[in-house]
Amino acid sequence: MTKLYLSLRYALPEEHFENAYTALAHVQHLGIAEANDEITICLLHDGNADFQAREEEHLQSLFTQFNVPVKFIESLIIKEENWNKEWEESIEPVRVNERIIITPSWKEDTVSAPLKIVINPQMSFGTGHHETTRMVANLLESSVTQGDFWVDAGTGTGVLAILALRCGASRVYAFDNDEWSVLNTQENVERNGISVHSGESTSIVIEQNDINTMHFPSCNGITANLHKNLLLNNMDKFFQALKDAKGILIVSGLLKYDSETIITCAKKNGFSHATTNSEGEWIAIKFTVL
**CATH numbers and ranges of domains, the chain:** 4-80 (3.30.70.100), 91-289 (3.40.50.150)
Q: Report pLDDT digits (tens) over 221-277.
A: 999 999 999 999 999 999 999 999 999 999 999 999 999 999 999 999 999 999 999
Listed residue (136, 78, 85, 133) closest to 106, CA to CA = 85
- 80, pLDDT greater than 80: no
Strand partners, 212: none
Q: Report pLDDT digits (tens) over 195-209.
A: 765 555 458 999 999
33 Cβ neighbours under 8 A, 6+ residues apart: 39, 40, 42
219 Cα distance to chain centroid? 22
Q: Report pLDDT digits (tens) over 105-142.
A: 888 899 999 999 998 876 555 677 889 999 999 999 99
Q: Backbone phi, then psi, for 233, in 5-degree steps?
A: -70, -15
Strand partners, 39: 10, 34
Q: Work out the average pLDDT over 9-38.
A: 92
pLDDT for position 76: 92
Q: Report pLDDT digits (tens) over 144-179.
A: 999 999 999 999 999 999 999 999 999 999 999 988
- 89, pLDDT greater than 80: no
pLDDT for position 180: 85
Q: What is the spatial distance between Cα 8 and Cα 253, in angstroms, rounded to a whole number?
A: 24
**3-class SS of residue 181:** helix
pLDDT for position 271: 98
Q: Work out the average pLDDT over 189-196.
A: 85
Contact 126, 158 (CB under 8 A): yes
153 Cα distance to chain centroid? 10
265 Cβ neighbours under 8 A, 6+ residues apart: 231, 232, 235
pLDDT band at 290; cut points 50, 70, 90: confident
pTM of the full structure: 0.73
Q: What is the spatial distance between Cα 52 and Cα 41, in angstroms, rounded to a whole number?
A: 12
pLDDT for position 276: 97
Contact 189, 162 (CB under 8 A): yes
42 Cβ neighbours under 8 A, 6+ residues apart: 5, 6, 7, 29, 30, 31, 32, 33
Contact 214, 175 (CB under 8 A): yes
Strands 94-95 and 100-104 come out as antiparallel
- Residue 235 parent element (H or E): helix 235-242
pLDDT for position 2: 74
Listed residue (214, 237, 206, 211) closest to 153, CA to CA = 211
160 Cβ neighbours under 8 A, 6+ residues apart: 126, 133, 136, 137, 140, 152, 223, 225
Contact 32, 38 (CB under 8 A): no
pLDDT for position 122: 66
Q: Work out the average pLDDT over 204-219.
A: 95
pLDDT for position 82: 59
Burial environment of residue 290 by CB neighbours within 10 A (0 to 12, 13 to 18, 19 or more): exposed
**3-class SS of residue 43:** strand
Between 3-7, 93-97, 118-122, 242-246, the lowest mean confidence (pLDDT) is in 118-122
- 1, pLDDT greater than 70: no
Q: What is the spatial distance between Cα 11 and Cα 63, in angstroms, rounded to a whole number?
A: 12
pLDDT for position 3: 84
